Amino acid sequence: MINKPDMILIDVDGTLVDSVPDLAWCVDAMMQQLDMPAHGEAKVRNWVGNGVERLVRRALIGQLEGEPDAALFERAYPIFLELYAENTSKRSVLYPGVREGLDYLKAAGYKLGCVTNKAARFTEPLLRDLGVADYFAIIVSGDTLPQSKPDPAPLLHAAEFFGVQPTHSMMVGDSVSDVKASRAAGFQIVCMSYGYNHGNDIRDARPDAVIDALTEIRGLLEQAA
Ligand SMILES: O=C(O)COP(=O)(O)O
Ligand SMILES: [Mg+2]
């Protein structure tokens, strides 16, 4: 059972935005510049969610866990950053129902914030280019604070900004990091079924609810206590 929150914080990659087409394009362009084999979108999809630095490390070793050679990473990371700065929103799109869902939440008077592990220099242009930046009174990016999700600090930072208690707060996300951060912060957590969760079903992380489109949040909130 969901309790009606005063504030809702929403994740970016895999929740608002299907950003993998740009991220995978940049990963493969970087791999090509390094004379290494390309990975393609399906693999990159499983590596998104812990920030671009971690994504580059995963691409260099071709798997989720582990560390690349330090010198190779030092060469690769600036290449990726330059590519992604030019390709933040060229191929990325809002998921179906996102704009309608945000319009509903805004009209219903919820305090809205955005909490992502994406670095601020990419989050802000991406949300602006897709026309959704203005829904959010605060955007907490992966490098806004020393800690990022699954740490609860970015969520608590936004709650403090709005002067809202965690017990009156909800996070909407797509990955186990969103669930862990929400549980640690004392927030409710609703997850999207379609997002990126390293290839695992998000239901296994036991969020409070799972929805197939942001428009479905209306039904959840209108039934809430
Ligand atoms: O991996 C990233 O860059 C960001 O992922 P998030 O928006 O799902 O937190
Ligand atoms: Mg996400």
Determine the average pLDDT of the residues in 6-35.
98
Instruction: Please report, as a single letter, which amino acid is at residue 131.
Output: G
Looking at residue 78, what is its pLDDT? Answer: 98
Looking at residue 225, what is its pLDDT? Answer: 78
Alpha-carbon distances, residue 55 vs 140, 163, 191, 219, 223 (angstroms): 19, 34, 22, 35, 38
Determine the average pLDDT of the residues in 119-127.
97
pLDDT > 90? residue 186? yes
pTM for the full predicted model: 0.97
ipTM of the shown complex: 0.95
Is the domain 7-18+92-223 a CATH 3.20.20.100 member? no
Average pLDDT score over the chain:
97
β-pair type (17-18, 93-94): antiparallel
Mutate to test the pocket of ligand 1, among 10, 11, 13 (most ligand atoms within 8 A of CB): 13
Each residue's pLDDT tens digit, 49-80: 999 999 999 999 999 999 999 999 999 999 99
Nearest-angstrom CA–CA distance, 172 and 16: 10
Looking at residue 133, what is its pLDDT? Answer: 98
Domain boundaries, the chain: 7-18+92-223, 20-86
Local confidence band at 199 (pLDDT 50, 70, 90 cut-offs): very high
Nearest-angstrom CA–CA distance, 42 and 49: 14
> Which residues, judged by CB distance below 6 Å to any ligand atom, belong to the binding site of ligand 1?
11-14, 48-52, 116-118, 149, 175
Tell me, in angstroms, the distance from the centre of ligand 1 to residue 49's CA: 4
Tell me, in angstroms, the distance from the centre of ligand 1 to residue 225's CA: 31
Nearest-angstrom CA–CA distance, 147 and 19: 22
Determine the average pLDDT of the residues in 1-17.
96
Determine the average pLDDT of the residues in 81-91.
98
| CATH classification code of 20-86 | 1.10.150.240
Active site residue 22: no
Local confidence band at 113 (pLDDT 50, 70, 90 cut-offs): very high
pLDDT > 90? residue 171? yes
Q: How far, in whole angstroms, is CA 62 from its chain's centroid?
A: 21
> Among residues of the chain, what percentage have pLDDT more than 90?
99
Is the bond preceding 150 in cis, omega lying within 30 degrees of 0? yes
Determine the average pLDDT of the residues in 111-115.
98
Looking at residue 101, what is its pLDDT? Answer: 98
Determine the average pLDDT of the residues in 199-204.
96
Local confidence band at 42 (pLDDT 50, 70, 90 cut-offs): very high
Q: Which residues surround ligand 2, an ion (CB under 5 A)?
A: 11, 13-14, 174-175
Tell me, in angstroms, the distance from the centre of ligand 2 to residue 118's CA: 9
